[in-house]
Structure 1
């Protein structure tokens, strides 16, 4: 499966998604590692077999094994962190913000690729998972690393389109 296969599987009512996923594939504001790493990380975060298959096929020729592993690791660690930190943020009792998380997050410190690219993958996954606290933290790290607003927005756009494609395809399987 590929992005073209996903596009052809989308119904007519999702024409905008077809156009958006195509244009994101041709995005030049991010390099291939950043772009396809975000796509792969989001696919793993969403967890839909068709989406994972398509993004893995697209990423295979464009990502090193280390970058592909980092994208999957971003999905894994953010799957945990986004739930934890979103919950801490939503709780009214401020005590929880003062307690140590006591969760292992070693991959964040040593992701196996350039740290800013891993932060970008994590940013995209945090957008899919809806954790504002994590989005703010990753955006701050990306800014320190010199990323522009447009580059950060590109990662969020990737997350939104990959998520929407997955939702539409899943809904069509039910219909």
Structure 2
């Protein structure tokens, strides 16, 4: 069973900063443990590295009293953002008003079935959107979480986790 420590050990010396950052971003900070691990799990799904995903899920299961809803929401957020980030990034990149007026027609029923809480789910979506590079989605989710009572420090910490999880996946593949 993979762990974050095993993953850190597998990163080559050229990825020393990622090794150090991977430990640092998953400890403490402004996020609750559920927020921290929800972001980490969703970002591991988005980064598409099987060993990293397994390690992050294993650590979340050890760190959280009730990990199942956090992991399931993270899985759903990664999938929904995998779809939405492509669609809305296209609309933004193409820059034509005609596409902006078209109904997306993409089902997102899972948003009404969040197992943890709506604001934390939006924070997880924001982090995945940062990995996927969707400006419109990042802005939209950031607005929702700030209006929902989270702080800019919490947003910042979530995106730091996203950045380091993504870097770890790149490091493991290189």
Q: What's the TM-score, normalizing by structure 2?
A: 0.95
Q: d(CA) in 1 for partners of 2:137 and 2:95?
A: 18
Aligned length: 171
Query: Where do 1:99-118 residues align within 5 Å?
Result: 99-118=102-121
Q: C-alpha root-mean-square deviation of aligned residues, in Å?
A: 1.0
* Contact 2:39 2:123 (C-alpha < 8 Å) held by counterparts: yes
The gaps in structure 1 that reach 5 residues or longer are none
1:150 matched to 2:153: yes
Partner residue in 2 for 1:13: 14
1:161 is matched with which residue: 156, 161, 164? 164
Whole-Å Cα distance in 2 between the matches of residues 109 and 139 of structure 1? 19
Supply the distance in 2 between the matched residues of 1:93 and 1:157 (Cα, whole angstroms): 32
Q: Deviations over 1:94-114 (max 9, x none)?
A: 111111111001122331210
List structure 1 runs of 4+ shifted beyond 2 angstroms. Answer: none
The farther-off stretch of 22-31 and 158-167 is 22-31
1:59 counterpart residue number: 60
Query: Which residue of structure 1 lines up, in the alignment, with residue 89 of structure 2?
Result: 86
Once the two structures are superposed, the pairs formed by residues 3-42 of structure 1 within 5 Å of their partners are 3-42=4-43
Q: Confirm whether residue 135 of structure 1 aligns to residue 138 of structure 2.
A: yes
Q: Which moved more, 1:127-136 or 1:103-112?
A: 103-112
Kindly state the Cα deviation for residue 160 of structure 1 after the two structures are TM-superposed: 0.4
Which residues of structure 2 form unaligned runs of 5+? Answer: none
Q: Distance in 1 between matches of 2:130 and 2:38?
A: 14
